[in-house]
């Protein structure tokens, strides 16, 4: 059974000994989404950059309620679990972009690493590493709002899908591309033999 795949991003305040979660956005493969803001975040610790680029994009702070995204740290953890619904028999797969700090901020919603709920992975797969494995192509996907966790999560999903399409093609480096899969034999055996021409290594 394939794992359910989710793409996420966090915004946070970084200061000695902690990564203080500001917000988290998650998008499922089916387009479903989740957005939450940490009521308990210590905004006084924010750098000027975070104030200018992240906090200014947040909706006005409001007491946690069903009709707004502000939640206590504990409520946020429960809401994330309710959205992802991971379990031992139905684990989830997580993807981020430069996601090391994001993964720590996410895990700390549940306590230490050993407190991770069943079905929650101990690592986040990284779209940047996928890009590097494909020769580091430029990801030409516009982002509707940088440093907004949900907008960035949506961008990460689109970037992943963009790179999957790249993975399915080969290029001669001069603007011509072909599908890796040969239309004759159905194998991923197409190869560039010179600029402007590709042929199947299996069919010849």
H helix runs in the chain, sequence order? 48-53, 73-84, 100-107, 127-133, 149-167
The CATH architecture one would assign to domain 4-167 is 2-Layer Sandwich (3.30)
Which pLDDT value is given to residue 26? 98
Per-residue pLDDT at 17: 87
Are 95 and 127 contacting, i.e. CB atoms less than 8 angstroms apart?
yes
Q: Which of 46, 116, 54, 44 is nearest to 81 (CA)?
A: 116
Predicted confidence at residue 1, as pLDDT, reads 63
CA dist 23 and 54 (Å) reads 9
Assign 10 to helix, strand or coil: strand
Per domain, the residue ranges of the chain are: 4-167, 169-200
pTM (two decimals): 0.82
What are the pLDDT tens digits along the chain (204 aa)?
Answer: 678 999 999 999 998 889 999 999 999 999 999 999 999 999 999 999 999 999 999 999 888 877 889 999 999 999 999 999 999 999 999 999 999 999 999 999 999 888 999 999 999 999 999 998 888 888 988 887 789 999 999 999 999 999 988 777 777 777 777 777 787 887 878 888 888 888 898 887
């Amino acid at each position: 059974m394939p794992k359910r795949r989710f793409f996420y991003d966090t915004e946070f305040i970084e200061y000695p000994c902690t990564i203080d979660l500001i917000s988290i956005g998650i998008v499922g493969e089916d387009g479903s989404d989740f957005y939450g803001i940490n009521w308990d975040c210590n905004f006084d610790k924010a750098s000027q950059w975070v104030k200018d680029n992240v906090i200014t994009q947040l909706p006005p702070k409001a007491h946690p309620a069903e009709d707004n995204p502000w939640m206590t740290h504990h409520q946020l953890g429960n809401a994330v679990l309710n959205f992802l619904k991971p379990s031992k028999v139905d684990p989830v797969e997580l993807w981020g972009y430069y996601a090391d700090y994001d993964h720590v901020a996410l895990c700390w919603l549940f306590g230490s690493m050993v407190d991770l709920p069943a079905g929650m992975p101990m690592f986040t797969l990284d779209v940047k590493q996928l890009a590097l494995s494909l020769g580091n192509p430029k990801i030409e996907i516009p982002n509707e709002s940088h440093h907004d966790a949900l907008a960035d999560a949506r961008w990460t999903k689109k970037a992943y899908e963009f790179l999957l399409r790249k993975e399915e093609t080969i290029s001669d480096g001069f603007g011509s591309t072909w599908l890796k899969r040969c239309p004759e034999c159905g194998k991923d055996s197409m190869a560039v033999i010179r600029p402007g021409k590709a042929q199947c290594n299996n069919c010849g």
